[in-house]
Amino acid sequence: LLSGTKPSAKLRLMKIYHNSIRPMEQAYKYNELRQHEISDGEITSKPMVLFLGPWSVGKSSMVNYLLGLQDTPYQLYTGAEPTTSEFTVIMHGEKIRTVEGIVMAADSSRSFSPLEKFGQNFLEKLVGIEMPHKLLERVTFYESPNS
């Protein structure tokens, strides 16, 4: 950090975790109960908004509206019949691209590694969409399949 600047709350939280909490977790074998250590990606992850509901209630339409994607080539598919068969994570990225769930879970800089415990079948039904959008710099959207 530059001298004279204050560290962000996330960096301070990571430092507290690594210096104070993690040693206690190790001493008391907490991770044997939790299945994995908390990653920096989990500590620094953005707030998450989950869109949940039966098919055709407007989950994709709401995401399209919030991100201004209606009538663009990038809009999430919507329709009267069931349209989504996977969990979709809409997150910030430098360019628009799709990321497979397996790749997302393997990236320790993100908060998705704990999803590995749900197995290969789940990860194959998880897809990420990265796009450069101001709102996605501060929040990540999750859209569930016909829940």
Is residue 147's pLDDT more than 90?
no
On whether both 15 and 31 belong to a single domain, the answer is yes
Residue range(s) defining the domain that contains residue 119: 43-143
Whole-prediction pTM: 0.69
On whether both 71 and 134 belong to a single domain, the answer is yes
Backbone angles phi, psi at 80, to 5 degrees: -75, -30
Q: Is residue 1 part of a domain?
A: no
Mean per-residue pLDDT of the chain: 82
On whether both 123 and 70 belong to a single domain, the answer is yes
How high is the pLDDT of residue 88? 92
Is residue 41's pLDDT more than 80?
no
On whether both 14 and 74 belong to a single domain, the answer is no
**To 5 degrees, how large is the angle CA 134–CA 73–CA 77?**
95
Backbone angles phi, psi at 11, to 5 degrees: -65, -40
Q: Is residue 2 part of a domain?
A: no
Is residue 2's pLDDT more than 60?
no
Total domains in the chain come to 2
